[in-house]
Amino acid sequence: MLTLVTGTTGQVGRGFVPRLLAQTRPGEHVRVLVRDETRAAALADRGAQIVVGDLRDAEAVGKALAGADAVVNIAASFRGVPDDEARAVNRDAALELGRAAVTSGVRRFVQVSTNTVYGEGRARPLDEDDVSIPGGAFWGAYPASKAEAERGLLALDGLDVRVGRLAFVYGEGDPHLANSLQWLTHWPATKLFHLVHVADVAQGLLRLLYAPGADGRVYNIADDAPVTTLDIHRLLGADLPEEAHTRSDPDPWHLIVSTDRIRRELGYRPQYPTAFTARDAGAL
């Protein structure tokens, strides 16, 4: 089995690919598509095959897919990029990768998505059967393009597609949580956020990749206990403005997801069930 992984130099990819390589058995191989070969040197040292090119380059994608049995598409563009860039990478390139995978004879395709595709809240934890409703505080080109990519990939004939919707990723050097303080200060102190440690993202994606009978299925990947704005500030040793304690939260369940499906069907159990567990383990 040969697995192609995209987005390997981002934080999720850096957490996933070494764990994938560590689990390879005789006859199993890992290939990564990267734009900068020097950033993948450590992966090459661990046995990964390196293909240099851009996800939007059809020739590079064709070379990367040659002989592949599975794809894990982690590549994403979202932090402060123009809307056109987000759509080009998250939707257009993902769909082209899926179509090229069908043409190349790839059997399995894992699409990494986000819990922000749900859009508007439902005043309860979200499950995978909830449709995307555009809107809400976190809606924009990133979740919209990811939602469109999901729909397009799941509609492809001849490809076993599985989708992993990630909660807010943190851990192992990811600056995402610390950077969030710039906008978290404007939220109510009691506002809940659903997190997932990068190690548990890797666990979830590995389960999606290897599980039999999961074709066409969507899975939320998150930890067991959402934390508040106040919790995040305390975890990071930051002060929360006093006015945050008087703000109200119109939907306490916004972007909080259920992980019942991935637990029941794939045996997922977070290594870090809460951010406090990760802090105590020195894994923030």
Query: In whole angstroms, what is the distance from residue 42 CA to residue 166 CA?
Result: 26
- In sequence order, the 6+-apart residues with CB closer than 8 A to the CB of 145 are 86, 87, 89, 90, 91
Tokens in use for 100? 């090229």
Q: Which residues pair with 3 in a beta bridge?
A: 30, 70
Taking CA atoms, 101 is separated from 68, 97, 158, 222, in Å, by 8, 6, 10, 28
Q: Is the pTM of this model over 0.75?
A: yes
Number of H helices, E strands in the chain: 12, 11
Beta-sheet pairing, 227-228 with 192-193: antiparallel
Domain span at residue 64?
Answer: 2-280
**Contact between 194 and 255 (Cβ < 8 Å):** yes
Query: In whole angstroms, what is the distance from residue 75 CA to residue 186 CA?
Result: 30
> Which helix (DSSP H) or strand (DSSP E) does residue 12 occupy?
helix 11-22
CA angle 48, 52, 54 (to 5 degrees): 125
- Number of neighbours of residue 135 by Cβ within 10 angstroms: 10
Terminal CA-to-CA distance of the chain, rounded, Å? 33
Instruction: Tally the domains of the chain.
Output: 1
- In sequence order, the 6+-apart residues with CB closer than 8 A to the CB of 157 are 102
Predicted local distance difference test score (pLDDT) of residue 250: 86
pLDDT tens across the length of the chain (284 residues): 999 999 998 999 999 999 999 999 999 999 999 999 898 999 999 999 999 999 999 999 999 999 999 999 999 998 778 999 999 999 999 999 999 999 999 999 999 999 999 999 999 999 999 999 999 889 999 999 999 999 999 999 999 999 999 999 999 988 889 999 998 989 999 999 999 999 999 999 999 999 999 999 999 999 999 999 999 999 999 999 999 999 999 888 999 999 999 999 999 999 999 999 999 999 99
Predicted local distance difference test score (pLDDT) of residue 120: 93
CATH number at residue 64: 3.40.50.720
Burial class (CB in 10 A: 0-12, 13-18, 19+), 115: buried
**Contact between 135 and 119 (Cβ < 8 Å):** yes
